[in-house]
A and B are shown apart, each in its own frame.
Chain A
């Protein structure tokens, strides 16, 4: 497996050398299918940089999951009892998953406007508030709340030295997606920044996470023919109950 992988990179590098690109980046699986036995997946990003540029330069990879609409509600204590506050704040465009990796801890050399524009680092993520802020936390406060929530569920992965570099030119990074990862398009961005903190080159790839197999069929059916889905669910349950009862009667 590994041999094939490096061979593949080698071919890819040969191609890249012809094109004389300072940076090339690809993802191993463009489609991730969530089937009945899905328990998380891995996005592998690999590529090559011009070895002349390696010394001192920084590679950054970010993965932004599909934009999600999130509702944030605070838990409050009423008369000694913890309940969910009726007030909530709705957020738009929050990435459903976020990952970032680099080959070097010190990427602060890139200027902050650039980091912000490209949403590099959780602090530079752009999230819009859909309704008025009903809780006291401001926009940045929400980022911290979501950060904690995502981290706990492995929906946020920050690995400052998560990119492995071989022979000053080939690189590879693996990102784990948890089982609850949302479906949709994941944007994979790779940036090459030189010693002076200037962007040399960047690549964008995408990974599609889709539901597959019986699960996808059920999901679609429940959305498109919701009434019939309910009728079949009820009939199926009754049939199963009758079958079980008949089986046990004979035992």
Chain B
């Protein structure tokens, strides 16, 4: 059954969108990532114009993460104070990101930059999480007890605050900086930023995995609200038919994911997320290494030139 997407301007199979939404929603609920890093490349592969894919995806992630966030909030898995501090950085970061993207557009290198930053970050984050989670699974098997979290020099910076929910007493500077970085990346790459935020919160801030996911979703809800409105306002590229269809699958998937998460241990969740990130990165690398089927890209453009 085909459905016509009014903004994207093409018909697409209803069931494919449903399944895609379900799979990505499951990941979102389970790992606290919006799933944009997975969904956006998939939508582009299906022939949806990249600008529409990125913007509609922001809208879709918003709904999926609201659903996931509420589920985590009821399980008291959200550190609101930490979320608020990350958000301060995040807002400044997205403003910087918008200007950076504007600069890249003016020199015509945005596509190159986006592809390479996707691959670089996915490979880096994926491998890091994979080695870390494997080593902590091994440690557990050896019977050694883990410390609550590793203390690193960053935690000792000034402006220390007590984060009760995360059992941390650390400087607010690292979370502000992480929020800033994620804000920049999410406005350039068109993702919520969870796949960067989750590992950063676990490994740099030392937050417990269970709390990280709910807190990351809180941040994603705010970031994607802003980007949905900005993308609509500036580019008119949000296809609500597309995002709603993805949603039907996604909200169901997110709930299943949240329940599945409760059955797994922190390092197992991290290991699985690492594997998924590496698979996506490999697909992206494969796509830029093989000789493309078509040597040219033809798209319609708007400006009267």
Q: Which residues of A contact B (CB under 8 A)?
A: 34-40, 68-75, 78, 80-84, 86-87, 90, 130-131, 145-146, 148-149, 152, 179-180, 182-183, 211, 214-216, 218-219, 222-223, 226-227, 229-231, 233-234, 236-238, 240-242, 244-245, 248-249
Contacts and interface: CB of A to CB of B under 8 A. Distances in A.
B298 A39 contact: no
Interface in B211-268: 221, 225, 228-234, 236, 238, 240-241, 243-244, 247, 251-252, 254-255
Given A70-B298, A81-B289, A180-B9, A34 B111 contact: no
Given A37-B2, A149-B294, A242 B66 contact: yes
B255 A244 contact: yes
Contacts of B133: none
B3 to A, nearest CB: 6
Interface in B274-302: 287-292, 294-302
Interface stretch (B55-63, B122-130, B157-165, B184-192): B55-63
- Interface of B, helix, strand, loop or mixed by DSSP: helix
Contacts of B305: 90, 130-131
Contacts of B291: 82
Nearest to B73: A245
B292 A218 contact: no
A238 B225 contact: yes
A241 B70 contact: yes
16 contacts: A39-B4, A39-B11, A71-B298, A74-B296, A83-B111, A86-B111, A179-B2, A215-B4, A234-B59, A234-B225, A236-B240, A241-B68, A242-B67, A244-B254, A245-B66, A245-B71
A146 B228 contact: no
Contacts, number: 191
A219 B240 CA distance: 10
Nearest to B299: A71
B144 interface: no
Given A68-B300, A226-B236, A237-B59, A248 B255 contact: yes
B301 A71 contact: yes
B6 interface: yes
Given A74-B295, A90-B305, A223-B236, A230 B66 contact: no
Given A34-B4, A86-B109, A230 B297 contact: no
A102 to B, nearest CB: 27
A233 B302 CA distance: 23
B108 interface: yes
Contacts of B59: 233-234, 237
A245 B70 CA distance: 7
Nearest to B295: A75
A100 to B, nearest CB: 20
Contact of B238 (A35, A230, A241, A242): A230
Given A80-B289, A84-B297, A218-B241, 18 more contacts: A70-B299, A72-B298, A75-B292, A82-B291, A145-B298, A179-B4, A180-B10, A230-B229, A233-B228, A234-B62, A234-B229, A236-B63, A236-B240, A237-B62, A238-B221, A244-B254, A245-B66, A245-B251
A242 B2 contact: no
Contacts of B115: 83
B7 interface: yes
A245 B214 CA distance: 14
Given A36-B4, A215-B6, A237-B63, A244 B233 contact: no
Nearest to B228: A234
B65 interface: yes
